[in-house]
Structure 1
Amino acid sequence: MQWFAAPEYWPSRLLVQRLLAALYLIGFLAAARQFRALIGSRGMLPVPRFTARVPFRQSPGLFHLHYSDRFFAAVALTGAALSAALLGGLGDAVPLWTSMLCWAVLWVLYLSIVNVGQTWYSFGWESLLLEAGFLATFLGNADTAPPAPVLWLLRWLVFRVEFGAGLIKLRGDSCWRDLTCLRYHHETQPMPGPLSWFFHHLPDPLHRVEAAANHVTQLLVPVGLLLPQPVASYAACVVVATQLWLVASGNFAWLNWLTIALALAAVDPARLGLSVDPRAYPATAAWFEALALALTAAVLVLSYWPVRNMVSPRQVMNRSFNRIHLVNTYGAFGSVNRTRQEVVVEGTDEQVITRHTVWKEYGFKGKPGDVRRLPRQYAPYHLRLDWVMWFAGISTGYARPWFLPFVARLLVNDRDTLRLLRHNPFPDTPPTHVRATLHLYRFTDWRELRDTGAWWHRTAWSEYLAPVDLAALARAGHRPPPAAGTGKDAGDRPGTPGGARTTHPDGRS
C-alpha cells in the first residue's frame, strides 16, 4: 500500500524515537535510585503489601509474579540499559522485528513499575510515557519507511494532551477565563525552577498575555496538528516553542519534553524549508502493515472514552481507562492555588519537648525549604518525594498513606529515605522526635531579594504533625523499617497527619 509509507518523515521518526528512548532512560534511572525508600520491601508503600491486596488483573505486571528488591532493581536497570542502547541507535542496527521487540520490552518493564508505583506513580506523565512508548513500537526502523497511520496516531496523542489541558482550564478555575492565573502559577506550582522567580515578577500585562496565549496554543493550535501540511508542521513548531517556555518556567518531570517529542511526529522537514537527503526503503512487509493497521483500529475504538470525557462538562484529567494505560485522557492545572503551602519537617535530639526545644529542619532537593536557596532545575528527572510533598501541603488526605511511614524512617535515619533528601541535620544519631509544620511561602520582591538575599519569604501557619517519637508511632500502628537484610517488610497502616485543611489537588491519575 503506497499510502501507508511516509519516507519523507524519517528525520521526524528518528527524533521521536531518540527522545522517547532518552525519557525512558531517565524514568528507569529514577526508579532504580528511588524505589527502595518509596515502594521497596522496606519502603513507605511496599510493593509486596500492594500486590497482596490488588490482583494482577487490576495492575498487570511482572511484580505480581515475583517481587524482591533485587528483582525490581534488575528490572529498572535492564530498562535503563535497553533505553540507552536504543538511544544509541540499536533499533536501526537490528532487524525490524527485533527493534519492535526491544520497544515492547521497554513498555512491559515500565508498565510493571507504574502499576505497582501507587501514589508515587499516579501522575499523567507516567501514562503518557507508556502510551507514547507503545506507539513507538510500531514506528519501524531503518528497514522500513515511517508508517503514516502511526504518525497520525502520535499526532492524535499530542492533540489529546494539549486540547484536554486547554479544556480543563477553560472549564475550571475562573482565573483562566479572566486571564489572571499566571499571577499565581509560577509561585504556587508544585516545584518551581531557577527562573520561576523571574517569571513570577513579569509585569501583569505579560501574565495576561501568557494566559491568553495558553488558550490559543492549547485550544486552537492542536487542531492544526490534524490538518494537512504545511499547517501541521507549523502547529507542531508552536507546540514545541510553548513547551520550551514551560521547561524554562518550572519542573514538570518529563511531561514537556515528551510533548515535544510527540509534536515532532507532525513535522515534515521539507515543509519547513529544511534540506534533508531522501531515503529509499524497500517495500513494507505485509505483517508490519497488518500490525500497524490493527493498532490504528484499536486506538480508534479506545478513543471513545477520552473523547467522551473531553466533550463532557464534567471532564476529568489524567485518567487511564484501562489497566495498561493506552489511549488516556490528559490535562493539568484545572485549578491554580493562590497561596503556597509547604510542609516543613523538623527533628530534635532532645529527650523532653519544651517550648525552648531547638528544632532542626530537613532539607529537600527540589521543593522549597531554605528561603535563601534558589530553586533548582531537575526536570526531566523526577523527584517523586519532593513532588508529592506539594500535594501534602494542600491535602492531608493525600498524605495519609505515606507521611507517617516517612516520619518513622526519619526517626531511625533510614539510609534509603535519607538519600532522597538534600540535608539530614542528624548525621550521627537519629532524632528523638520529628514534627511537621505548615508554612505559607511567597516569592520575595526585588527589594527583599537585594536586602536579604532570600528568594522566598515564609510564615508559620499551623501545626501539621505534632512532635512524635518512635513509641508514639508504634502506638499508632507505625513502626520503622527493619534493618536491611532481615527480609521483613516495613509495617505501616494509614495514619492522619493533622492541622492542614483538606482540598483536592490537580494532576493525579
Structure 2
Amino acid sequence: MEWFVAPDYWLSRLVFQRALAAIYLVAFLGAAVQFRALIGERGMLPVPRYVERVPFRRAPSVFHFRYSDRFFAAWAWAGVLVSAGLLAGVDGRVPLWGAMLLWLLPWVLYLSIVNVGQTWYAFGWESLLLEVGFLALFLGNDEVAPPIVVLFLMRWALFRVEFGAGLIKMRGDACWRKLTCLYYHHETQPMPGPLSWFFHHLPKPVHRVEVAANHVTQLAVPVLLFTPQPVATAAASLMILTQLWLVLSGNFSWLNWTTVALAVTAVDFSPLTGEKHFARTPLWYEVVVLAVAAFLLFLSYRPARNLLSRRQIMNYSFDPLHLVNTYGAFGSISRLRLEVVIEGTADPLPLADADWREYEFKGKPGDPRHWPRQFAPYHLRLDWLMWFAALSPGYARPWFGPLVERLLDSDPDTLRLLRRSPFPPDSPPRHIRARLFRYQYTSWHELRTTGACWKRTYVRDFLPPTHLGTAAGGNGLPD
C-alpha cells in the first residue's frame, strides 16, 4: 500500500536509528559501570531488596527471577554489544523480521534495568528512551520504506516532550512568565557544564530573549510538526537548534540528544538525496505496525489528558512498560544553589578543628577552582542525586546513609563513582560529616584574580559527624 510508507524519509530513519543506537550504547555503558555501588548486591539501594517488595506486574524485569552482580553486569554489557552492533548497521544486513528482533533486544534489556533502578533511574529521559526505543522496532530497515504511521507516532512523542515542557513552565514558576528564569537557571541547574558559567553571565536582556524563544519553540512550534512539508522540516530544525543550545549550556544526560533524534524523523531530506525505491511492504508487517499503532494511540489518552490538566504532572509513566509517557522539566527554578559537601577525618575525635578532608565528585560542584566538565550524554547518577539531596534531605534519606557507610568502609565500587577520595583505600576515615554550602558563580574579575569559577558560603550542617554503625540509616539527616 503506497499510503502506508514514506520513502522520502529513508535518510531520516537511518540517522535516527544510528543516533538511537549511540544513546542506547551510552545508557548501557553507564549502567554497567555504575550499578554495583548504586543497586548491586551491596549497593545503596540493592535490587534484591527491591524485588522482594515490588511485584513483577508493577515493574517487569528479568531480575525478579534472578539477580546477582555478575548476571546484571552480563545483562548490561550485552546491551552495550547489541547497541554497538546496531550503531554499526547490523540491522540493515538482516531480513526485516530480524531487524525488528534486533531492535527489540536493547528495549527489553534496558526495560529490565530501569524497572529495578529505583530513584537512580527515576528521570524522564529513561522513559523517553524506552518509548522511542519501542517505536524503533517498527521503523523497518533497508528492505522497506519507513511507515507513515510510525513517523507520526515519533512526532507525537516529540510533541509531548516539547509541549509538555512548555506547559509545565507556564503553569509553574512565575519567572517563566516574567521571562526571568534564566537569571538563575544556569547557576542552579543540577549539573553545570563547561560553558554554563559563560551562559550565566550573558546580559539579562539576552536571558529574557532566550526564555521567550523557548516558549515559542515549546508551545507554538510543536503544532507545526503535523503540517505539510517544508513547514514540518522547519519546525523540527528549530527544535534541533534549541536542543543543541541546551546541550552547550549544561549536562542533561541524553534528554537533549534523544529529542534531537526524534526531531530528525520529521526532517525531509529528499531534496538533497533524491528518490529511493523500495520493495513492496509485506502484509504481515503492515498488520503488525497498524495494530501496534492503534494500541499506542489508545494508551495516549492519559498523557493527552494530562497535557490539558491544570494539575499536569511531568516525567511520569502510565504503564510499567513505559510505552507512552508524559514529560516536562524545570517547572520551578531554584534561586540559590545549595551543595552538600562530604568530608572525612582520620582523627580519633570528630572535633570542629580536626583534619577534615573533602571528597570530590566528578560532575557536581565541589572545589571552587574545579571547572565543570562535559559529561552528557553520559549520566553521572550519584552526582545528579546529590543535587536533589541538597534541595530535599528527606528525598536522600534512603540512600545517603548507605553512601556514607560505604565511604567509611572505603568501598572500591563507591569510590570509583568519585573524582577523588582524600583517603587511601587501605586507610579509611574514622568519621564523616556533610555540610551544606551555598555556591555562586564568581564574577569576571574574581575569575581573573583567583582562577575560581565558584565561591561558596557555609549554610549549616547537613549530617553530623558519623562513624560506622550509625551511618546506614541516614541518622541525623534533616527532614
Within the alignment, does 1:498 sit opposite 2:477 as a pair?
Answer: yes
Alignment CA distance shift 1:350-1:222 (3 Å) = same
1:412-446 Cα distance to aligned partner (Å, 9 max, x none): 10000000000000014000000000000010010
Matches within 5 A, 1:422-441: 422-427=419-424, 428-441=426-439
Q: Which residue of structure 1 lines up, in the alignment, with residue 448 of structure 2?
A: 450
Q: Which residue of structure 2 lines up, in the alignment, with residue 121 of structure 1?
A: 121
Within the alignment, does 1:62 sit opposite 2:41 as a pair?
Answer: no
Question: Per-residue deviation at 1:256?
Answer: 0.2
Q: Which residue of structure 2 lines up, in the alignment, with residue 8 of structure 1?
A: 8
The amino acid across from 1:498 in the alignment is: L
CA contact 1:403–1:497 (8 Å) conserved in 2:
no
Q: Name which of structure 1's ranges 346-355 and 327-336 shifts more when overlaid on structure 2.
A: 346-355
Q: Distance in 2 between matches of 1:64 and 1:456?
A: 45
Question: Per-residue deviation at 1:277?
Answer: 3.8
SS at match of 2:325: coil
Question: Pick from 410, 416, 438: which aligns with 1:413?
Answer: 410
Question: Per-residue deviation at 1:472?
Answer: 2.8
1:69-117 Cα distance to aligned partner (Å, 9 max, x none): 1110111001110000000000100111011001111111000000000
Matches within 5 A, 1:97-116: 97-116=97-116
Q: Distance in 2 between matches of 1:496 and 1:243?
A: 41
The amino acid across from 1:225 in the alignment is: L
SS at match of 2:461: strand
1:469-493 Cα distance to aligned partner (Å, 9 max, x none): 01333xxxx3xxxxxxxxxxxxxxx
CA contact 2:397–2:477 (8 Å) conserved in 1:
no
Stretches of structure 1 that go unaligned for 5 or more consecutive residues are 479-493, 503-509
Question: Per-residue deviation at 1:322?
Answer: 0.5
Q: Which residue of structure 2 lines up, in the alignment, with residue 506 of structure 1?
A: none
SS at match of 1:454: coil
CA contact 1:397–1:496 (8 Å) conserved in 2:
no
TM-score by length of 2: 0.99
Matches within 5 A, 1:395-414: 395-414=392-411
Q: Distance in 1 between matches of 2:121 and 2:193?
A: 21
Question: Per-residue deviation at 1:280?
Answer: 1.2
Q: Distance in 2 between matches of 1:175 and 1:436?
A: 32
Q: Distance in 1 between matches of 2:415 and 2:239?
A: 39
CA contact 1:396–1:496 (8 Å) conserved in 2:
no
Within the alignment, does 1:275 sit opposite 2:278 as a pair?
Answer: no
Matches within 5 A, 1:136-175: 136-175=136-175
1:362-384 Cα distance to aligned partner (Å, 9 max, x none): 00000000100111000000000
The amino acid across from 2:70 in the alignment is: R
Matches within 5 A, 1:64-103: 64-103=64-103
Q: Which residue of structure 1 lines up, in the alignment, with residue 32 of structure 2?
A: 32
Q: Distance in 1 between matches of 2:475 and 2:198?
A: 37
The amino acid across from 2:353 in the alignment is: H
Question: Per-residue deviation at 1:151?
Answer: 0.5
Question: Per-residue deviation at 1:191?
Answer: 0.1
The amino acid across from 1:194 in the alignment is: P
CA contact 1:400–1:497 (8 Å) conserved in 2:
no
1:328-387 Cα distance to aligned partner (Å, 9 max, x none): 000000000000010000000001122321100000000000100111000000000001
Q: Which residue of structure 1 lines up, in the alignment, with residue 313 of structure 2?
A: 316
Question: Per-residue deviation at 1:182?
Answer: 0.3
Question: Per-residue deviation at 1:230?
Answer: 1.1
Q: Distance in 2 between matches of 1:82 and 1:497?
A: 45
Matches within 5 A, 1:477-492: 478=472
CA contact 2:394–2:477 (8 Å) conserved in 1:
no
The amino acid across from 1:403 in the alignment is: F
Q: Distance in 1 between matches of 2:365 and 2:115?
A: 29
Q: Which residue of structure 2 lines up, in the alignment, with residue 377 of structure 1?
A: 374
Q: Which residue of structure 2 lines up, in the alignment, with residue 390 of structure 1?
A: 387
CA contact 2:437–2:460 (8 Å) conserved in 1:
yes
CA contact 2:143–2:279 (8 Å) conserved in 1:
yes
Question: Per-residue deviation at 1:496?
Answer: 5.1
> Aligned residue pairs: how many?
478
1:123-182 Cα distance to aligned partner (Å, 9 max, x none): 000000000000000000011111110011001000000000000000000000000000
Matches within 5 A, 1:273-352: 274-352=271-349
**Percent identity of the aligned residues?**
64
Q: Distance in 2 between matches of 1:326 and 1:497?
A: 40
Q: Distance in 2 between matches of 1:198 and 1:246?
A: 13
The amino acid across from 1:356 in the alignment is: D
Q: Which residue of structure 2 lines up, in the alignment, with residue 262 of structure 1?
A: 262
Question: Pick from 345, 350, 361: which aligns with 1:364?
Answer: 361
Q: Distance in 2 between matches of 1:63 and 1:435?
A: 35
Please identify runs of 4+ aligned residues in structure 1 that moved more than 2 A: 494-499
SS at match of 2:212: helix
Q: Distance in 2 between matches of 1:144 and 1:390?
A: 46
Q: Which residue of structure 2 lines up, in the alignment, with residue 204 of structure 1?
A: 204
TM-score by length of 1: 0.93
